[in-house]
Structure 1
Amino acid sequence: MAALKLSLFSNNFPEFFIIDHDGVVDIAKIETESDRRNATFQWTGPSLNFGTKGMLVRAVSPPGFCLRIATFDNFRIHSKFFTGITDPQVKAQVIEESTYVLEPAEIDSNQASFRSVKFPDRFIRHRNFELFAEPVIPPRELQDACFRIAQPLHPTDF
């Protein structure tokens, strides 16, 4: 099966995409070619159907970075190089903290939300343009956890 490449933009700020900024992940406007690269991901789940589990992994070089919930940083979303981890327990923990269930967004069921598998009460959401894994309290925060799936912003390397 072909890998599912995509970019994700904010439902309530449609010019702002999820971007990996050298280890921390935000929503921001695409201003450079580097931004296009860093806003292109692979969904590792078997499909983009709601209810599937997967990880969001960088789809461009360098490969092997996933969007991880950093419990050490107030549940901020960081990118983490996981493919080179040699300790099986550490690698399993990173994968667990980086796996999400693709769900219909509560505010717009045609769009997507990403609920943590390890912390099932937490969703990827933006707050002050930074990404966190947090519980979403209706109604205002529902928009912050709603993302639109778009075609990849950059041709992928692999």
Structure 2
Amino acid sequence: MAVLKLSLFSNNFPDFFIIDHNGLVDIAKMETDDDRRNATFQWTGSSLNFGQKGMLVRAVAPPGFCLHIATFDNFRIHSKFFTGITDPQVKARVIEESTYILQAAEIDPNQASFRSVKFPDRFIRHRGFELFAEPVATPDELQSACFRIAQPLHPAEF
């Protein structure tokens, strides 16, 4: 199976990419090589076709971090080290809370939205340049849950 590396930029803020900022996930402009590294992910689904389930995992060191819905932090998206979890029940829960369905964005069906598997009424979206998993209904909310898939901003190391 091919490894699908990508970067994702905001549909309504095209200069802003999803980025892991030391454990919290935001959208931001890419200004440094470290920014480009932290905005490069691997999609674990079998393809980038709509309807596929997968996780968004860091594609550069340090490995083993995924975009996780932190229910304890108002459904904020955190970067979570999941590969080192030894308790199988905890690991299964974290994976479930970090798995999304790639689907056509309602506001722009040529672009992508990521709907939570665990919380099917919630989509990854940005609010105040921070990422959350939230329900979306209004045009502004739908726009903030729409992302464009781009080539990886940094060559992956592993």
For this structure pair, what is the TM-score category when the shorter chain's length is used for normalisation? over 0.9
Deviation at 1:23, TM superposition (A): 0.2
| Number of positions where the alignment pairs a residue of Structure 1 with one of Structure 2 | 158
Match of 1:126 in 2: 126
Match of 2:47 in 1: 47
Matched, 1:145 2:145: yes
SS in structure 1 of the partner of residue 55 of structure 2: strand
The ranges of structure 1 where at least 4 consecutive aligned residues each deviate by more than 4 angstroms after the TM superposition are none
SS in structure 2 of the partner of residue 46 of structure 1: coil
- Structure 2: distance between partners of 1:22 and 1:52: 28
**Matches for 1:66-105 after TM superposition, within 5 Å:** 66-105=66-105
- Structure 2: distance between partners of 1:95 and 1:109: 27
Deviations 1:93-152 (A, max 9, x none): 100000000000001000000000000000000000000000002222111000000000
SS in structure 2 of the partner of residue 140 of structure 1: helix
Identity of aligned residues (%): 85
Deviations 1:32-70 (A, max 9, x none): 110000000000000000000000000001100000000
- Structure 2: distance between partners of 1:66 and 1:124: 13
Match of 1:20 in 2: 20
- Report the TM-score, using the length of structure 1 for normalisation: 0.99
**Which stretches in structure 2 are left out of the alignment for 5+ residues?**
none
SS in structure 2 of the partner of residue 12 of structure 1: coil
- Report the TM-score, using the length of structure 2 for normalisation: 0.99
Q: CA RMSD in A?
A: 0.4
Match of 1:157 in 2: 157
**Which stretches in structure 1 are left out of the alignment for 5+ residues?**
none
Deviations 1:72-105 (A, max 9, x none): 0000000000001000000001000000000000
